[in-house]
Each structure stands twice: as C-alpha cells, then as structure tokens.
Amino acid sequence: MTAKQIRKEIIKLSFSTNSPHLGSSLSCVEILVSVFEFIKGKKKAFEVIFSKGHAAMAYYATLYSYKKIKKENIENYLKPNTKLWSHISRANNNFLKFSFGALGYGLGIAAGMSLGYQIEKKPHIIFCILSDGELNEGSIWESLMFISHHNLKNIVILVDRNKLQSFGSTSDVINLNSYRKKFKSFNFNFFEIDGHNVNSLIKIFKLNSLRPKVVLCNTVKGKGVKRIEGLLSSHYYPAKKEDLELIN
C-alpha cells in the first residue's frame, strides 16, 4: 500500500469519528512506510516504538496496510468495544506491546529494550519515532545520555520535524537551535533528510554504523491536505467531508 493510500485511510478514520490530530498523523506517513518497507520479509528481529502516540491514526493505518491488524479492527476505531483508541493502547491488543499518549517515554523504553537485547546478545534493531515537540521533554535527553553511555548502536531514532506542536511553532515554544550540534554532542550518527522521501530513509537504515543513528526528518504538518498543510490549526483538526475528496 502506498503512502497516499495510507493517508486516505487516516482521513477516513478522522472523518468518521471526528478525531483530531490529523496534521500530526499525516506528517509521519512516509517515516512509518520506510520502516515497515525496510523490515518487511527480513529474518532479523525488529522493534518499532511509536512514541508520538497522539498520531495513532497514522500508526493504525500503516499496521493495517501491512496486514498487522485486521479490517474489522480498523473499521471499529473508537467505536464500542474497540481495540483501537485515539492514543495508542496495548489493552486487548496482541500486536501492540506498549501504550503511548503522554510524550517523552518512548525513547526510554527503546533504550531499555536495546540494552536488554545487547546483554542477551540478541541482534535486534529498534526504531523509535518521536515528534519534534517531544524533544522538549527532559526524559528524552536523559534517555539520549543513557543510549550514548552504553553505545546502543542498534537504535535508530526518527524525529518527525514538522516544526509545529500543540500551541505554537517548535522554535517559538522552545528553540533547540542546532539539532545537529546537540545530537552529535551525544556521539550519535546524525542525518537530516526529507522525511517524505521513503527511498532516502531506507538508504540510511541500510548504512552500517558503530554508533546509534538519529534521523531528523523534515516534514510538513498536514501533508496531503493542501488547505491545512503547515498550519498550526492542523494539530487538533478533524477531517471534514471535503477532505474525503482525496480518496477518489
């Protein structure tokens, strides 16, 4: 399933349930597609930690497109007895290992898992997807120190840098200035890339590295719905009937 088809599924989910966070869900589609394309058919073990749990619709739509969840589950999104909530929940789900909604702890989980696999000498690769606003959380930087200290090189951190968060631009809320300098100071292998280019992302995943990777993915909030692209209002925006035109 293509990124465009996944976007259509996200828009349908948002419209049918009046769910917000459409902008955040649409910005990270290619990031998710690149990860699932990379791990598809490979024998090596992988973990995907989707820390920006408010963009749950993107994760569910991607899981559905890669046949990780059933059609009846995706059609039951937010309905009575659903297994799929507006923030990622592992309750009653055998395909989701962790719940995510509150930001800041996905990277800590990834770090703990990575160290465990390292101790057990199990060859896992862990992908952890963060939002750029999530980098405001102190727990993220504590986790980065931990990852650096233990050189957990089987972690790939993907930052969805759509430059907007709940109540403003990320540079206005807390300006982190140079991402490159900050991540390199933790001794990470740093990349900055077009976050909507699946092939370029996969090329980075394929690179051998003796250090953990951080990929700063420059994206557009609300990507695919022209009238909300790059707008702060897209954060809490639920899809409208006219947005369904993308499905045709």
- The Cα–Cα gap between 69 and 65 comes to 8
Q: Residue 78, SS3?
A: coil
What are the boundaries of each domain within the chain?
Answer: 3-247
The predicted model gives 41-55 an average pLDDT of 90
pLDDT at 181 over 90: yes
pLDDT at 1 over 80: no
Average pLDDT, the chain: 92
The predicted model gives 155-184 an average pLDDT of 95
The predicted model gives 8-30 an average pLDDT of 96
pLDDT at 42 over 90: no
- The Cα–Cα gap between 36 and 2 comes to 12
CB contact at 8 A, 167 and 204 = no
* The pLDDT value given to residue 89: 78
Whole-model pTM?
A: 0.94
pLDDT tens string 218-235:
999 999 999 999 999 999
CB contact at 8 A, 114 and 103 = no
Q: How far is CA 190 from CA 8, 43, 215, 217, in A?
A: 32, 27, 6, 11
* The pLDDT value given to residue 247: 59
> Which residues, 6 or more positions from 194, have their beta carbon under 8 angstroms from its beta carbon?
200, 217, 218
Tell which residue, 161, 158, 132, has the closest CA to residue 31.
Answer: 158
* The pLDDT value given to residue 81: 85
CB-based contacts of 225-228 (< 8 A; 24+ apart in sequence): 225/11, 225/22, 225/26, 228/22, 228/23
Q: How far is CA 11 from CA 6, 182, 244, in A?
A: 9, 35, 7
CA 244-200-207 angle, to 5 degrees, is 140
Q: Which homologous superfamily is 3-247 in? A: Thiamin diphosphate (ThDP)-binding fold, Pyr/PP domains (3.40.50.970)
pLDDT at 36 over 80: yes
Q: Give 93's pLDDT tier (boundaries 50, 70, 90).
A: low
CA neighbours within 13 Å on the CB side: how many for 240? 8
pLDDT tens string 64-84:
999 988 888 899 999 988 888
Q: Give 92's pLDDT tier (boundaries 50, 70, 90).
A: low
For residue 125, give the amino acid letter.
I
Question: What percentage of the chain reaches a pLDDT higher than 70?
Answer: 96
pLDDT tens string 118-166:
999 988 999 999 999 999 999 999 999 999 999 999 999 999 999 999 8
pLDDT at 112 over 90: yes
